[in-house]
Chain A
């Protein structure tokens, strides 16, 4: 069995309560940092651990922390990004539902390191049940003296509050999240200044993903150097992977970074292979915004090496033949799935979720949705493929926040790797409405488009 650090006790009954979590070694990291370490020591351990942001961007967490400005007399804030909205990603919901204290303990450790006395957990509004769970966990921790005034007699004060969002994907972008937390529309801010200088209420702020914050607990318990020994090269530690799509066992798995992709998909310990005895067609490895890869390229790199679940290996070959680990949202497509339809679906998502500030994204996502719908419903022409390519290229890199890139990449990758399928839709408009291109000679008839 592979090593687990976050989900070690996931099967223990009552692990969602303070009592059981504590019995299993919970809050030892809080005792350790508060009684034996300085905030700088904690930052140093996280730096040594090599932990990279688990929300998608993969930026080193310790380095992000070290950028935090510390002017005299100005409060600093830690904000946890629990706005998990990237299609294919559901690990944070899983962690907060089953082991809420792992996040609360991580929040205390991280807040202590950053010198924050008030911290917020911004949870997407649809997760009301998880909000209740976290509020209960906070109340339990407070009752036991791990939160509130003078924690464990140290003189350190910390309050944690849970803030609901309103159902906007864009609020997963850290500056949009801060706007939302201030009670405004989720429009991303122009950077610089970065939140480390001017974040929440214009004060120095760190925004970290749920899983990154929870990972600080095993980092403190093991020590940064020990943590860094897990994994491969610059992909240290363990990662929660949300596995969905046409696999035998969808769910959340904790893997050691460096696991071969093939083992993750086909072994009984993880996904258990493709459902219903079908063959694999494609994989989106890191949430909807990363490039989709056909089966052959996800299992092996273009150079013929085994593809590993690491930041580096998944990105091997750049966007020509590689993809990204992203948030770890691993979506598997079987032979009967239609790449054109899925690309249209994702384009609709990004059009719906664009905040509308930047013209290339606001207009471009709409164009991509329309053109893809036209092709998928059998009315496309060959020039539409070039049009799509042109539009996505003009969005990428031309927007304030990465939503534009996130909308452009899936379209570009689908055309790059599955152009024959787009052309088939255009050359066989009637047939494309009765069957999928697939890998197979046959397929289930398509469902009518629900619009």
Chain B
């Protein structure tokens, strides 16, 4: 399941990142450090933009567990990106309540505006988008989120999507 492109041999955990790992592990009883796996994978993804097999191997060493225990978890939870994506991954809710108020139309607009299909990366490496399941914001739909801080953008329409994308582009120029 893990292909070659999912390797990133340049992964090194900085002392700052390792300090955050240490804080996470301190939340659990002794010997139960594996509980820190999800929080640590989130930290890894926030740092590198995605979770590579090499990063997972190092997490396994850190937590004193087998690499397979990390792989099986990273592949189970949909938030973890197992290959490089755009700098900004726009995740739009595609579930029922959001569709009642136009989420499918907004998905079509995203595809058109960015010029890439779901899961692909724009040529400038800035954007990816994908439909995700219910984000618990049904009363404020259509809604999308952008990691790693998972800021929500609510009550979307075409103009708001355009403005958001233009602002993100301007920010990186």
Give the distance in Å from the alpha carbon of A346 to the alpha carbon of B147 in the complex: 25
Q: Which residue of A lies closest to B78 (CB)?
A: A167
Given that A126-B150, A127-B150 are known contacts, is A242 also in contact with B38, CB under 8 Å in the complex?
Answer: no
Whether B96 lies near A288 (C-beta < 8 A) is yes
A331: which of B29, B73, B138 is its contact (CB, 8 Å)? B138
Contacting residues, chain A, for B69 (C-beta < 8 A): 183-184
Tell whether B11 is near chain A: CB-to-CB under 8 Å. Answer: no
Give the distance in Å from the alpha carbon of A75 to the alpha carbon of B30 in the complex: 13
Tell whether A201 is near chain B: CB-to-CB under 8 Å. Answer: yes
Tell whether B72 is near chain A: CB-to-CB under 8 Å. Answer: yes
Give the distance in Å from the alpha carbon of A341 to the alpha carbon of B141 in the complex: 18
- Which A residues between 215 and 267 are near B, CB-CB below 8 angstroms? 242-246, 250-252
A205 CB to nearest B CB, Å: 13
Interface flags for B145-173 (1: CB within 8 Å of A; 0: not) read 10111111000000000000000000000
Give the distance in Å from the alpha carbon of A346 to the alpha carbon of B76 in the complex: 20
Can you list 26 A-B pairs, Cβ within 8 angstroms, ordered by A?
A: A85-B136, A87-B96, A87-B133, A88-B134, A90-B139, A128-B147, A128-B149, A163-B27, A164-B38, A164-B39, A167-B77, A167-B78, A168-B78, A180-B38, A183-B36, A183-B37, A183-B63, A184-B69, A184-B72, A201-B29, A244-B101, A345-B94, A345-B99, A448-B108, A450-B104, A450-B118
Not counting A124-B136, A129-B151, a sample of 9 additional A-B residue pairs whose C-beta atoms are within 8 angstroms of each other reads A85-B133, A87-B133, A125-B150, A126-B145, A183-B38, A184-B72, A244-B141, A246-B100, A333-B100
Contacting residues, chain A, for B38 (C-beta < 8 A): 125, 163-166, 180, 183
Tell whether B135 is near chain A: CB-to-CB under 8 Å. Answer: yes
- Which A residues between 351 and 372 are near B, CB-CB below 8 angstroms? 352-353, 355
Give the distance in Å from the alpha carbon of A92 to the alpha carbon of B29 in the complex: 28
Give the distance in Å from the alpha carbon of A352 to the alpha carbon of B137 in the complex: 19
Whether B42 lies near A127 (C-beta < 8 A) is no
A353: which of B79, B105, B133, B150 is its contact (CB, 8 Å)? B133
Top-7 shortest CB links A-B: A166-B77, A183-B37, A167-B79, A250-B139, A244-B138, A183-B34, A128-B150
Whether A87 lies near B134 (C-beta < 8 A) is yes
Whether B34 lies near A182 (C-beta < 8 A) is yes
Give the distance in Å from the alpha carbon of A163 to the alpha carbon of B32 in the complex: 14
Q: Which residue of A lies closest to B77 (CB)?
A: A166
Contacting residues, chain B, for A16 (C-beta < 8 A): none
Whether A182 lies near B139 (C-beta < 8 A) is no
Contacting residues, chain B, for A341 (C-beta < 8 A): 99
Tell whether B84 is near chain A: CB-to-CB under 8 Å. Answer: no
Contacting residues, chain A, for B67 (C-beta < 8 A): none
Whether B76 lies near A166 (C-beta < 8 A) is yes
Give the distance in Å from the alpha carbon of A168 to the alpha carbon of B77 in the complex: 6
Interface flags for A15-52 (1: CB within 8 Å of B; 0: not) read 00000000000000000000000000000000000000
Contacting residues, chain A, for B32 (C-beta < 8 A): 182, 201
Contacting residues, chain A, for B134 (C-beta < 8 A): 85-88, 169, 288, 349
- Which B residues between 46 and 99 are near A, CB-CB below 8 angstroms? 63, 65, 69, 72-73, 76-80, 94-97, 99
Interface flags for A75-99 (1: CB within 8 Å of B; 0: not) read 1000000001111111011000000
Tell whether B119 is near chain A: CB-to-CB under 8 Å. Answer: no
Whether B139 lies near A244 (C-beta < 8 A) is yes
A contact residues, total (Cβ < 8 Å): 58
A242: which of B34, B135, B139 is its contact (CB, 8 Å)? B139
Given that A92-B136, A168-B77, A183-B36 are known contacts, is A345 also in contact with B105, CB under 8 Å in the complex?
Answer: no
Contacting residues, chain A, for B147 (C-beta < 8 A): 128
Give the distance in Å from the alpha carbon of A165 to the alpha carbon of B136 in the complex: 14
Q: Which residue of A lies closest to B72 (CB)?
A: A185
A198 CB to nearest B CB, Å: 15
Tell whether A305 is near chain B: CB-to-CB under 8 Å. Answer: no
Tell whether A314 is near chain B: CB-to-CB under 8 Å. Answer: no
Contacting residues, chain B, for A89 (C-beta < 8 A): 136, 138
Given that A87-B138, A165-B77, A168-B77 are known contacts, is A244 also in contact with B133, CB under 8 Å in the complex?
Answer: no
Tell whether B121 is near chain A: CB-to-CB under 8 Å. Answer: no
Q: Which residue of B lies closest to A356 (CB)?
A: B76
